[in-house]
Amino acid sequence: YKMMNYTRPSTIHIVAFFHAKEILHTLKEKYFKEVQDLEVDGQKIEAPQPLSCSWSGNISRQEAVSMIPPLLLKIEPQHKILDMCAAPGSKTAQLIEMLHSDMDVPFPEGFVIANDVDNKRCYLLVHQAKRLNSPCIMVVNHDASSIPRLHFDQDGKKDVLFYDRILCDVPCSGDGTMRKNIDVWKKWTTSNSLQLHGLQIRIAVRGVEQLAVGGRMVYSTCSLNPIEDEAVIAALLEKSEGALELADASPDLPGLKYMPGITSWKLMTKEGQWYSDWSKVPTSRHTQIRPTMFPPTDPEKLANMKLERCMRILPHHQNTGGFFVAVLVKKAPMPWNRRYPKLRHKDVTSSSEAAPAEELQMGESPADVPPADGSSADAPVEAVEGETPAEGNPSVPDTPDLLEVKKDNVCGPPPPKKMKLFGFKEDPFVFLTEDDPIFPPIQAFYDLSPDFPKLNVLTRTHEGKKRQLYMVSKELRNVLLNNSERMKVINTGVKVWSRNTDGEQFGCAFRLAQEGIYTLCPYIRARIINICVEDVKVLLTQENPFLRKLGDDAHNQAKKLGMGSIVLRYLPDPKDLDAPQCPIDLCGWRGKTSIRAFVPRNERLHYLRMVGVEVFHDKQGKRNDGSTEIQERSTEDAEGLSQEADLLEEEGEETEQNGSESNANGTEPVGSTCDGPAS
């Protein structure tokens, strides 16, 4: 209790993406040193320290224990990953960064599909994921307990998509968050876990069904109640009949303190009644209390489960919140998937049965669902679109109909009256064809390399001018093309080009977008200006500097280029250790007599910190170090700027007026994300 009353230390997660080492170096050598001798009320302030176990690392505020589940997934760049209950997205960001462990590869073979049941929280998830600017992330909106099985093309044949890694961070009572969430103290009751237990099993069951054999699923909660933790894992292991194994994950995070999972626990009702065994529960309680909430009674079966391999992280272990984690490895298809022979397409006698038959034909080597005669009452049933799993087995929580809305709104799809098959209808994702007339001017202007993946470029409109162009990885393109009617996609892809109004006069109707610069740069062979650290400072602290303000080398390069969109590239000098030791690519615009970095404000400040420019201001708006203040002009203050800046301003206004495409994509219009005349 004393530990729960202590102030919980704040933790930050440095996203290991592009510039992680440089960010960490800046924090240690500048900001941390500034506070190491600081005293408040006579007490010396301790400088921030790394956590004892090996964490990965732009910067996010994140609960320390919340960082653990993605690390235990042991992700590699080729893995197909499902995050079942993803919002608000801090763990999703970790998954994406691990996928991009090799930053020299713009399109990893793997991808992350991040799902959440709440439509509004999906857009929060989009906002989080968008900061990482990855072409390998897709945000979808489904009930995790009945998330649809997806198809994709494999060697010319349509197959079912099974995931190599699944993060199953389920909704829970949250008693482990008491140190930061005061509401839990007031609202927590013993009945919370009883109400959530069935939902948690349904989500976990749906997860292992979609996990590939040999794959790894991490089940986690921010609760310490065994009914939400070990009881769920025990139910999964028992029903898997050996198909699942609880892995020993302790070697994966050396230095992490925790206590092993427990093998014995009791259950208490809201009224304070205790039960240690299902046989003692009166019949009147069977609707609230289920047999899966108790530990297995067979000692041998319990020992074989190895529940002690679960991890219980208590607040005093690392001065964190409370957390539960279990790592499951799939050794074989689930028994309810392999028990019955597959139905073949030729067995179907009516058109109305064609869709389910196709679903069954493309499942795991055995059938995906048991026969309709009800003989499956002894096993969980996979939820397939258009079908409701069998009910009546007290050992398996009932799976609701796909259109049912949960009373507590914890996990359930949007109301049926607002749905079109699987949710609100979003703007379409339209892939461009290889001979699309958009490509030749872009190809010539930026001299794109022959291996540029044109087929991965998409837009969000069927008709009219294409205003924004996005890119996804090859595998996500595969998923989108084969499942457009099966899933509700909220957002995918990274923006790489934006249309300029009358931009053809500069040679190309599309300018580069900063969000996708690191995705595009490996393919761009023209319109590149190499710059030094001092050039970076000039470009990011002055709104529209004259070309002559650049260093001689960059100035000479700029004079050789015509007007239009450019890449401003900083490459590290190993001899100058005070300068950033990582490459930096900025979108820019080469004007008639001036040059401009077209970078959103938050990234502008990020890069300035990297090159040693202080960006905090006092109340008078002056820089702390006395140097020139960053100019942040509004459109009304931007008089006298060059023709290209006016052009970009016009584009920003037009985007806001026609913002349905951007808004449907979960992002802000172009004009509202950048400094200067386009803001």
β-pairing, 111-115 vs 137-140, is parallel
Instruction: Reply yes or no on whether 521 is catalytic.
Output: no
In this structure, are residues 539 and 595 in contact, taking their beta carbons and an 8 Å threshold? yes
In this structure, are residues 221 and 169 in contact, taking their beta carbons and an 8 Å threshold? yes
Does residue 208 have a pLDDT over 90? yes
In this structure, are residues 326 and 246 in contact, taking their beta carbons and an 8 Å threshold? yes
pTM of the model: 0.75
In this structure, are residues 332 and 243 in contact, taking their beta carbons and an 8 Å threshold? yes
Q: What mean pLDDT do residues 266-294 have?
A: 93
Name the pLDDT band for 582 (thresholds 50, 70, 90). Answer: confident
Convert the pLDDT of each residue in 31-86 to its tens digit: 555 666 666 666 665 655 555 443 433 445 455 678 899 999 999 999 999 999 99
Name the pLDDT band for 574 (thresholds 50, 70, 90). Answer: confident
Q: Rounded to an integer, what distance in angstroms lies between the CA atom of residue 644 and that of residue 491?
A: 31
Per-residue pLDDT at 90? 87
Among 455-464, 641-650, 655-664, the least confident range? 655-664
Convert the pLDDT of each residue in 139-180 to its tens digit: 999 999 999 999 999 888 999 999 999 999 999 999 988 888
DSSP 3-state of 70 = helix
Token code pair at residue 106: 């713009």
Q: What mean pLDDT do residues 82-103 have?
A: 89
Convert the pLDDT of each residue in 599-616 to its tens digit: 988 889 888 888 888 776
Does residue 625 have a pLDDT over 60? no
Q: Which residue bears the tokens 């510039």?
A: 19
Per-residue pLDDT at 29? 60
Q: Which of 136, 168, 172, 222 is catalytic?
A: 222
Does residue 202 have a pLDDT over 50? yes
Convert the pLDDT of each residue in 370-426 to its tens digit: 333 333 333 333 333 333 333 333 333 333 332 333 333 333 333 443 444 444 556
Does residue 343 have a pLDDT over 70? no
Expressed in percent and rounded to 5, the helix, strand and coil fractions of the chain are 35, 20, 50
Q: What mean pLDDT do residues 316-322 have?
A: 86
Q: Rounded to an integer, what distance in angstroms lies between the CA atom of residue 602 and that of residue 673?
A: 9
Does residue 455 have a pLDDT over 50? yes
DSSP code of residue 401: P
Does residue 348 have a pLDDT over 60? no
Q: Rounded to an integer, what distance in angstroms lies between the CA atom of residue 457 and that of residue 469?
A: 7
329: nearest Cα among 212, 250, 202, 206: 212
User: What percentage of the chain reaches a pLDDT higher than 70?
Assistant: 68
Residues at the annotated binding site for S-adenosyl-L-methionine?
85-91, 116, 143, 169
Whole-angstrom CA distances from 326 to 91, 242, 411, 536 are: 16, 16, 21, 46
Quickly name the fold that domain 61-330 has. Answer: Rossmann fold (3.40.50)
Token code pair at residue 85: 């209950």
Q: What is the DSSP string of 80-134?
A: EEEETT-TT-HHHHHHHHHHT-STT-SS-S-EEEEE-S-HHHHHHHHHHHHTT--
Convert the pLDDT of each residue in 228-238 to its tens digit: 999 999 999 99
Does residue 19 have a pLDDT over 70? no
Query: How many other C-beta atoms lie within 10 A of the C-beta of residue 265?
Result: 15
Does residue 641 have a pLDDT over 70? no
Burial of residue 304 (number of CB atoms within 10 Å: 0-12, 13-18, 19+):
middle
